[in-house]
Chains A and B, each alone.
Chain A
Amino acid sequence: MIEVEQLTKTFHDKKRGEIHALDHASFAVNPHEIFGVLGPNGAGKTTLLRLLATVLKPTAGTATLNGHDIVREPAAVRASLGFLSGDMGLYGRLTAREILAFFGRLGGLDGAALENRIRDIIARLDISSYADTRVDKLSTGMRQRVAIARTIVHDPPVLILDEPSYGLDVPSARLIENFVLEARRQGKCIVLSTHVMEEAEYLCDRIAVIHEGRVRITGTMDDLRAATGKTRLREIFLDLLGIAQQSQEARV
């Protein structure tokens, strides 16, 4: 469902010169799979997700989502994905229903099909009691449900989730977890970036650790344990960063 081939993104900064935000990343994600992307701040996780969502254009390499190339067919790629970030990205002056109608229309739905889809999602996510309230009047948990509804309103086969549980309390984070697991059951292909190790360990079928723009390792928890000799993901993660730091020191 997702094929990433040597995907590279370089930014030019007046002060720092060329910055390799993502350096020849390659991996694949299948349907019914949750693919975790871990890395410290500035590692290149968000750049990777933005490239997959065609919000940024790659400097080199490419990727296909649902059979569509991110460089040649960006519109088809965006129609195939749902994007959710920790910021939620909701229009505060609109109601949940209006937001769903807006993104549903952008996703190609209209008329009765759109209305049925909105009604179905509102019922499924239990947001009917506040579906016609302006989003800026809602609590964080309520907003999170609306953000999830917005992400899946056009029923995309691919979900790109950028730290979706960032800053959430335990019940709201659980809502996200349930949403991700349910999406996997439905056959979605999910890329999940997170800082929460327990969340990644619990949810992800495979994990990639990115550091300084490079994918250091990709595999299941067992693969990661075998490669590092550590048991818990937190230890594995720190170990991989340590390896990265050591190799950097060795180069210097």
Chain B
Amino acid sequence: MNGRIVATVYRKELLELVRDRRTVISMVVVPIVAMPLLFSVMNWFMSSSEKKADEESTTVAVSGPLTMPGLEAALQSAGFQLKTTSDLRAAVSGKTAAAALEEVRSPGGDSQLRIYDDATRPASEKAAGKLHEAFEHLKDRQVRAALSSQGIPEKVLEPFGVEDVDVAPQGTKGKKFLGGMLGYMVILLMFTGCMYPAVDMTAGEKERRTLEILLASPAGRDEIVLGKILAASTAAFTTATLNIFSIAISFQSGFLGKNLRELMAGTRIDGSAIALLLVAVLPTAITAAAVMITISSFAKSFKEGQSYLSPLIMLVVFPAVIGMMPGMEASPRLALLPVFNVSQLIKSIFAGDYTAAAFLVSFASNFVYAAVAFAIAVRIFQREDVLFRT
């Protein structure tokens, strides 16, 4: 294999890629813009739905004057506005009240409070929660008053205390969540960023009738396919790098907004974490490129190539999402599972609890996959029925 020819093919492919609007969008624009945009939209929705729920959760429907002593005062002090209506269910389902309250007498004559709420509406759920909280306060006051009147010390209510100590380092929880989400997004966008270039270099070349000329040139098949895989890997890696930096800048600059920032308290994406991330995703970028070049080689046209690769993107989502789940921890066997292992590694890098062994196992196994995928791509590129499929 002639390295000079590989480099020539590689440079030509890159030049073609950067002049293709679709590739530039998927490789550069999407990874830079997607995450800040996603964070902004998420934050806006979370803030606005919280604000709306706050505003709407104060109205409670009742069927008449409340008879239980202290109940009305407790509700008013909790900020509720009472609205009298004959049909409590209709008031909640018709959204004229966030929740409804009914006083019921049990056969034994005991008081019972019944709350009507709509579990599908955040405002209604919130109102029900606030009602429960108000009742707990009222109940507590009444019990304490009863004990006091009987001369019994309040301590009987809490014979012993309970303390919960979280041993996780400060910020770890946020980092785990961040790492899982980042791993998922980086991998997904890396594959989508690689998709257009891979299709363009194979099925696109067939469609534009340039592949035959290239095959008739002095370049060997293995040199051509290696040049193309390296160019597609560059596209995938560029996408991942831009995506990682975009997310890092979003986090550092406070672009997340209040809600997400609270979740990420104590989290810091520093230079060493970014460097490790880039090393971690490199073999997966090569694997993605080789697999995509192989699959899209079977297609006759750009459109057909996209149809072939779309299921692969879906396939990638599953292990990446599993890796994102909070309780999911890496094991030696799982460290060999492609996509999942790098997603776990990214998660660990952000949590700061990765081990050198886990890193090396994941990195080495992904390089083996990359080598296998490359070998398959070279073999496929030798097949006449694939290259000249009609």
Contact = CB atoms under 8 A, between A and B. Distances in A.
A91 B216 contact: no
A107 B217 contact: yes
A81 B15 CA distance: 26
Interface of A: 50, 53-57, 74-75, 78-79, 81, 83, 85, 87-94, 98, 102-103, 105-108, 110, 134, 150, 154, 160
B215 interface: yes
Most A CB within 10 A of own CB, among B12, B213, B219: B213
A55 B216 contact: yes
Given A89-B210, A89-B212, A106-B8, A57 B384 contact: yes
Nearest to B211: A89
Contacts of B12: 91, 94, 98, 102
B4 interface: yes
B209 A93 contact: no
B322 interface: no
A57 B221 CA distance: 13
26 contacts: A50-B212, A55-B212, A74-B220, A75-B220, A78-B216, A78-B217, A79-B218, A81-B216, A83-B217, A85-B213, A87-B209, A89-B210, A89-B212, A89-B214, A91-B12, A92-B208, A93-B15, A93-B19, A93-B20, A94-B16, A105-B4, A105-B5, A106-B8, A106-B9, A107-B217, A107-B218
A74 B219 CA distance: 10
Contacts of A107: 217-218
Contact of B15 (A53, A54, A78, A94): A94
Given A102-B12, A106-B219, A107-B218, A90 B212 contact: no
A53 B218 contact: no
B213 A78 contact: no
B203 to A, nearest CB: 15
A91 B5 contact: no
A226 B221 CA distance: 45
A75 B223 CA distance: 11
B217 A103 contact: yes
A34 B20 CA distance: 40
Contacts of A88: 209
Nearest to B382: A57
Contacts of A54: 216
A85 B209 contact: yes
A53 B210 contact: no
A54 B382 CA distance: 11
B213 A83 contact: yes
B169 to A, nearest CB: 51
A91 B210 contact: yes
A87 B212 CA distance: 10
Interface in B181-234: 208-210, 212-220
